[in-house]
Amino acid sequence: LEPTVPVSPAAHQPSQVRIALVLPQLVGGYGDRGNAVVLVQRLRWRGIGCELVEVTGATPVPSDCDVYVVGGAEGGGQLTAARRLRADPGLSRAVARGATVLAVCAGFQLLGTGFAGPDGTMHPGAGLFDAVTRPMPRRAMGEVVVDPAPGLGIRAITGYENHAGATRLGPAAGPLGRVVTGVGNGVDDVEGAVQGRLVGTYLHGPVLARNPDLADLLLGWATGHRLAPLVLEEIEALRHERLRHRPVTT
């Protein structure tokens, strides 16, 4: 897939953007590593240097990356990842310096203050989001359309959800958007969370492949630059298809 609009590099290039893919073996289900690939590729297409840093095994989480991507998971991977990230100060140090984070589903849940494990038992989270996840009476599965929080300045978000946890946001976190179709957080008709430069969402897809506006919002935060537009006709056509018959504008 190549962009159909030629893109010239921005006038002021950030030197090298570091994208960390956090514990993909533990929380990397549903193709969520694609989010890191999308970020890297959108930077490369614009001529911006970047590096993908894969945080695996017992390697400490580096605190000097610009964007951190955490994915979803079923079962024990989420609990192990939560233990790892509670014990390792790398990610919270990065957040304290203003790093950008995208956390999907299990990743979103475990970065909250507490979350329900596979058997419904509550576990402490890494505490980066002001959010608590408890078991939901019925698993949420299917396509989701979200009307993003107006301040984000992005178009409708689409994705696929598959989760058994319902997430209640505390006062420090705002929703990523309002649910138009689907379940999302399962509380207050909202989806995901935005807290500073942290974005949490239930949407797989991968969500950044389906929603280039969201990818560029994160890259804008991470680089401190307004990035040149980058339109991929194939992605636009897919968006149009997914949003057809939905009561939102594309």
Q: Which residues are annotated as a binding site?
A: 139
Instruction: Please report, for residues 5, 55, 59, 68, 152, the alpha-carbon distance to residue 15 in angstroms, rounded to integers and kept in the order given.
Output: 23, 22, 25, 18, 25
Contact at 8 Å (CB) between 181 and 159?
no
Annotated binding-site residue numbers for substrate: 139
Contacts with ligand GLN by CB under 6 A lie at: 30, 72-74, 78, 105-106, 162-165
CB of 134 to ligand GLN, least distance (A): 10
Q: Biggest alpha carbon distance in the chain?
A: 52
DSSP classification of residue 73: -
- Residue closer to ligand GLN by CB (options 120, 170) is 120
d(CA 37, CA 222): 15
**Among candidates 40, 45, 36, which has minimal Cα distance to 17?**
40
DSSP classification of residue 29: B
- Residue closer to ligand GLN by CB (options 164, 219) is 164
**Options 50, 65, 105, 163, the catalytic residue:** 105
- Residue closer to ligand GLN by CB (options 157, 164) is 164
CB of 125 to ligand GLN, least distance (A): 12
**Options 50, 65, 163, 204, the catalytic residue:** 204
CB of 48 to ligand GLN, least distance (A): 30
Active site residue 105: yes
Q: Catalogue the active-site residues.
A: 105, 204
